[in-house]
Structure 1
Amino acid sequence: MSGYMLSPSLGWIAGSIIAAILIVAAIVNVMLYVRRRNNSDTSLAACVRRSIIAVLIAIMALTPSVEATTTSQAINATDVYVAVDVTGSMAVDDAQYGSTDTISRLNAASKAVTDITALYPNASFAGLSFGASASLDVPLTPDSNALTNWADTLRTEPTASSTGSNLDAPLDKLLVNLKSTHDQHPDDSIILYIITDGEQTSSTTRRSFSSLRGYINDGFTIGVGSTAGGQVPVTQVTASGDQSQAGNWVIDPSTKKPAISKMDPKNLTAMADEISGSYIAVNARKTLSDSASKDASKQYRVTTTVKKRRRAMPVIWPFAIATGVLLLWEFGAWLAMSRRML
């Protein structure tokens, strides 16, 4: 613990108004006593006692607190898994997200992840990227900033290492992690978001996502891009480890012309049906800012985190005890005065 502070439990506006009214009442009480002391039965002790009571209650309205560090955190019993496609086609600049401005599909996915974290305050989040293979980049954590930071740093896989789009690439990794979360917290609500353009270019048949149904409460496939499509840029990793576009386009071997990648609503709808979820296409008018799942939990549980946080711990009991003693004194004085008046 370190340092004293004021942290009004009713908020600064309400707390300040209540405190100000009580302080004014204490001052008025003293002024009235001074003005009427020769024509009143009120004693000096009664005047001081009542003013102190008002001041003590004013202090409690402002909630004196001490600052303490803690690793405990109350989190909502909702676990949100987000899987983002990072294949080369996600670099196509044909996506829109709440604006007519055209951005890359991966940029639209990043904006969608930010909106997802806002939809589930105090929930836990996990981030998974998939291309030629899948990777759990952000294990389940109550730190929503970890997920948004991850989404902001996502890059499409280099063209040289790409093996085409295979939509079931994240399936095995999702199955293992969703089952683990379900087994550890069986009463939690588990929500799954899969963000992709829905394009399947691999020659292998896509496996069904229906095996995930037993471990999630709700799911969404989020379509980014356009059905008109766009040319796929060649991307490469620079010597510094950053990613850049080489300035030319991926060539379709069958036509010898720049390959055109299109968002595939049919695949996205089929995937949504397999997890008993919903398909949402984001565009200039539609974003995820109002697409929260109705299956999100309303329950909370306490967990221990590595990150230390500071919080205000109210310390009003000394003031409450003093106020109680003074109120008992006031009640006793009132009884004595009442008996003398009989």
Structure 2
Amino acid sequence: MNGWTLSPALGWPAGIAVAAVMTACAVAEVAIHIRHRACSDETVASCVRRTLICLFTAIAVLTPSTVASTTSKAVNATDIVIAIDTTSSMAVKDATYGSATTISRLDAAKHAVHDLTKAYPAASFSALSFGASASLDVPLTPDTLAIDNWADALAVESSAASSGSSLDTPLDKLLLTLKDIRQRHTDDTIVLFLISDGEQTSTTTRRTYSSLRRYLDDAVVLGAGSTTGGKIPADGSDDSADDQETWVTDPTTGQPGISTLSPDTLSTIADELSGSAIMLDASHTATNSLPKASKAWRTTATAKTRQRTTPVVWPIAIVIAVLLAWELGAWIAMSRRLL
């Protein structure tokens, strides 16, 4: 519904003050004219003209405006944060992804990232990797190609650089990243994807992920690997043939250590995030196993009705300009008569 309102361009306090002064000037002009009309050469027309100038100026300062209802579409964007485990155990070749072919756990994570960028074509992404430490590799960006390239370039850290896997390594970096995204994009939907084998070899107690819940709308923990497990390459590479590879040894047995997928640990982390856990394998991928994340959390447009205020001052400005021109003409004519 359309209507009229006052919306002072100077703000209500200043607008009311200036309007009150101009109204007082108009009243004073009329009062002075009536009191001194017998001994003054001011005509009634001059009094009316000057009074109208003051009154119209007071009205203009209060800024008459029209109010109209408009409908706009508000876009609710989706922000995807991906965190990938790059510890040496992610080089174990016991994972499958969409087929029976055995690949490394990190390669399965890379395939998952590519599927996620396809599932969220209109979303923004942020990417983080963690091993002995965590790093934000790609700040929030709508460039899905940058995320795909980041995933392709990922490599596991050398076992020599590791002092034991700790699944809470990315917590502090994730907390800062998610908090920053939530503060800068208040209305966005934020979804976290954590990809790991769930192996915890550090002797320290793992911290809970529950502190991230306040900044998330959803979370999905993806497990890469198998419960059967496999040997860990000592150099962190997954390119060498098995007969040419050296393995990380278990200090207690002196034999190559076996790393296994830990579904229970990953499910516990998912519960702490109030999300879900999915173990990637030949039949479960990031494309066909995430109905909620892939379908519900997408960019959506919502129609919203808003009130738009449009100042209408130009007719008043024209009237004031005409009155001022009249005043100037009268003053020039009076000056010429006095010469």
> Taking structure 2 as the reference length, what is the TM-score of the superposition?
0.63
**CA–CA distance in structure 2, aligned partners of residues 236 and 199 of structure 1:** 16
Mapped contact 2:123–2:299 kept (Cα < 8 A) = no
Alignment of 1:295-334 (within 5 A): 295-299=296-300
Paired amino acid for 1:81: V
Distance 1:75 1:86, change over 3 A: farther
Which range is displaced more, 285-294 or 183-192?
285-294
Mapped contact 1:75–1:124 kept (Cα < 8 A) = no
Match of 2:271 among 265, 270, 273: 273
1:282 aligns with 2:280: yes
Alignment of 1:68-147 (within 5 A): 77-147=77-147
**CA–CA distance in structure 1, aligned partners of residues 127 and 77 of structure 2:** 17
2:227 is aligned to 227
1:263 aligns with 2:261: yes
1:161 is aligned to 161
SS of the equivalent of 1:198 reads coil
1:247 is aligned to 245
**CA–CA distance in structure 2, aligned partners of residues 298 and 98 of structure 1:** 27
SS of the equivalent of 1:222 reads strand
**CA–CA distance in structure 1, aligned partners of residues 163 and 301 of structure 2:** 43
State the Cα distance separating 1:233 from its structure 2 match: 0.7
State the Cα distance separating 1:216 from its structure 2 match: 0.5
State the Cα distance separating 1:298 from its structure 2 match: 3.4
Mapped contact 1:81–1:127 kept (Cα < 8 A) = yes
Q: What are structure 2's unaligned runs of at least 5 residues?
A: 1-73, 303-339
**CA–CA distance in structure 1, aligned partners of residues 287 and 170 of structure 2:** 25
**CA–CA distance in structure 2, aligned partners of residues 282 and 256 of structure 1:** 31
Distance 1:201 1:297, change over 3 A: same
**CA–CA distance in structure 1, aligned partners of residues 81 and 75 of structure 2:** 16
State the Cα distance separating 1:254 from its structure 2 match: 1.0
1:308 is aligned to none
State the Cα distance separating 1:94 from its structure 2 match: 0.1
SS of the equivalent of 1:248 reads coil
SS of the equivalent of 1:203 reads coil
Q: Deviations over 1:128-152 (max 9, x none)?
A: 0000000000111000011111011
SS of the equivalent of 2:281 reads coil
Q: Deviations over 1:288-310 (max 9, x none)?
A: 11315155143369xxxxxxxxx
**CA–CA distance in structure 1, aligned partners of residues 191 and 257 of structure 2:** 34
**CA–CA distance in structure 1, aligned partners of residues 239 and 204 of structure 2:** 28
Mapped contact 2:76–2:187 kept (Cα < 8 A) = no
Paired amino acid for 2:266: L
Paired amino acid for 1:252: D
Mapped contact 1:236–1:243 kept (Cα < 8 A) = no
Mapped contact 1:123–1:142 kept (Cα < 8 A) = yes
Q: What are structure 1's unaligned runs of at least 5 residues?
A: 1-73, 302-342
**Rg larger for:** 2
Percent identity at matched positions?
54
State the Cα distance separating 1:243 from its structure 2 match: 8.8
Distance 1:256 1:179, change over 3 A: same
| Structure that is richer in strand per residue | 1
SS of the equivalent of 1:174 reads helix
**CA–CA distance in structure 2, aligned partners of residues 179 and 230 of structure 1:** 37
Q: Deviations over 1:152-192 (max 9, x none)?
A: 11000011111111001000000001000001111000000
SS of the equivalent of 2:245 reads strand
Aligned length: 224
2:216 is aligned to 216
State the Cα distance separating 1:78 from its structure 2 match: 0.4
**CA–CA distance in structure 1, aligned partners of residues 273 and 236 of structure 2:** 34
Mapped contact 1:82–1:125 kept (Cα < 8 A) = yes
State the Cα distance separating 1:255 from its structure 2 match: 1.1
